[in-house]
Structure 1
Amino acid sequence: MRAFGSLVADALAVFLFVAIGLLQHGSPLTTVTVTWVGWTFAVGMLVGHLAIRSWRAPFAVWPQGVFVWAITIVAAMALRTLFGQGTETSFIVVTAIVLGVLMLGWRAVASFVTRHERRAVVSLADLEGSGDAGAVGPGTADSDDEELDGAPASGRDGGSRTADDEGPVPAGDDLDPTGPDGTVPDGSGTTGR
């Protein structure tokens, strides 16, 4: 729902920019003029949303908002050049500033307004993760390849171990059989070295 809201808010920002521009230049504010002037910006905005996948963090000023804004400007100016609609330097500068204020401004306000929701979600996730037997992280055995409390996975399942490992040594392990006095017992009471 927020992703759709982000798209609508950016479309309204583009429409507002086009409407202000038309009124400033004395052009009539009709469906035809708004469509003729605004379609390049609308296409650029859609390309920006798709390119940055803005639905992942629709209210984020960085990087989603900045990239959507920048791609909107670049794509719109490229289309305007391609269709002969004028791209004077002063127009590009004014467009970048006004759309920047509008497209990044609403995101900043939305991020500020919803900051408590994000904190609540993070806090709830922290609480749910603590003390959970199925939690994944340091000290948990979610995968055979992960370490458990600093011990390699191979030490847990009877693979290679060191003399510092705790617990019984499985039969057939590759530990050095040398005793504390440097001798190797061969099981018959004599030393084999």
Structure 2
Amino acid sequence: MPDRRTIVVALLTDLVCVVIFCTIGRRSHAEGLSVAGIAETAWPFLAGTAVGWLAARAWRRPLALTPTGVLVWLCTVAVGMVLRRLSGQGVAFSFVIVASLVTALLLLGWRGLATALRRKQIQRS
């Protein structure tokens, strides 16, 4: 089991990645970058990330690309889109595609980078 610090940093990294995704999206669509506006856009995806953490039991292997990262990513997108739809926010097909690709890059990308850095560090030891 990883130490508490690793778990907290991994969770915070996932949450920050989701907020970054939502902030970039709002900016690219010329929507306001207020805290309230970003929160309105981000909450469905943050809820999805939380579901993903629970489904994957991510605290056991928070840095793992599979299955942890993949489950967190899939839940972030799927639950996020369902909650957006239920709350009257847009879920156009093109948005689902872009959201899926960008969140994959962010949520899986940082884990891939962390894995590569860990391997490099182990090789130096």
User: Structure 1 length normalisation: TM-score?
Assistant: 0.59
Q: Indicate yes or no: 2:71 matched with 1:64.
A: no
Partner of 2:83: 79
Q: Which has the higher contact order (CA 8 A, sep 6+)?
A: 2
Look up the equivalent residue of 1:105 and give its one-letter code.
G
- Correspondence for 1:95: 99
Q: Distance in 2 between matches of 1:49 and 1:57?
A: 10
Percent identity over the alignment is 37
Runs of 4+ more than 4 Å apart: 116-120
CA distance in 2, matches of 1:80, 1:118: 42
Q: TM-score, normalised by structure 2?
A: 0.91
Amino acid at match of 2:111: R
The AA in structure 1 aligned to 2:43 is W
Describe the SS at the equivalent of 1:55.
coil
**Residue equivalent to 2:55:** 51
Larger Rg: 1
Gaps of at least 5 residues in structure 1 are: 121-193
Q: How many residues align?
A: 120
CA deviation string 1:79-106 (max 9, x = no partner): 0111110111000000000000000000
- The structure where helix makes up a greater share of residues is 2
- Structure 2 counterpart of 1:107: 111
**1:105-127 Cα distance to aligned partner (Å, 9 max, x none):** 0000011111256689xxxxxxx
Q: 2:30: which partner in 1?
A: 26
String of CA shifts for 1:28-67, please: whole Å, max 9, x gaps.
1001100111000111001100111011111111111011
Q: Tell me how far 1:10 sits from its aligned partner.
A: 0.6
Structure 2's unaligned 5+ residue stretches are none
